[in-house]
Amino acid sequence: MRIGHGYDVHRLATGRKLILGGVDIPFEKGLLGHSDADVLAHAISDALLGAAALGDIGGHFPDTDPTYKNADSLLLLSKVCGLLEEKNYKIENIDATIIAQAPKLKPYIEKMRKNLAAACKIGFDQISVKATTEEELGFSGAGEGIAAHAVCIIMSAGDGQKA
């Protein structure tokens, strides 16, 4: 069994879509980044890569590469899951938290979970997404950005087998 942790943050900016967990959320600002800046998908990707000791999302999909300009982060997450599959790892579960003062995200959580589960080829019950505010403290509380944390457990094909 291996555990991974991922974290991502992006600045909010006008003229951008707000995409979290592959869901386009109506809001006056979106996240600024080279890709679609989906902090939730990025944090999950980093957690999975970290658990498998495969580096981080920036190493696999650098923001200096025009290939990833405005890239769909769910597609990048699918590629991360493909790397894990190549290394014989299976995702047991993912638990993620979005930190945003606004907008309210509860109405979108179920769709985020469905999108992320599909991208990872895991069951809906293997992924948890929560949202919280920072009670108007820090950059997210001031409405300057949105962050996400994710933890995961992955298993290798040999885990759980007796020698």
* Residues tagged in the binding site annotation for a divalent metal cation: 8, 10, 42
DSSP 68: G
CA distance 157 to 63: 33
CA distance 107 to 119: 20
Q: Which residues contact 58 (CB under 8 A, 6 or more apart)?
A: none
Please confirm whether the linkage preceding 103 is cis (ω < 30° from 0): yes
Distance spanning both ends of the chain, measured CA to CA: 16
Q: Which residues contact 137 (CB under 8 A, 6 or more apart)?
A: none
* Residues tagged in the binding site annotation: 8-10, 34-35, 42, 56-58, 61-65, 132-135, 139
φ/ψ of residue 50, rounded to 5: -65, -45
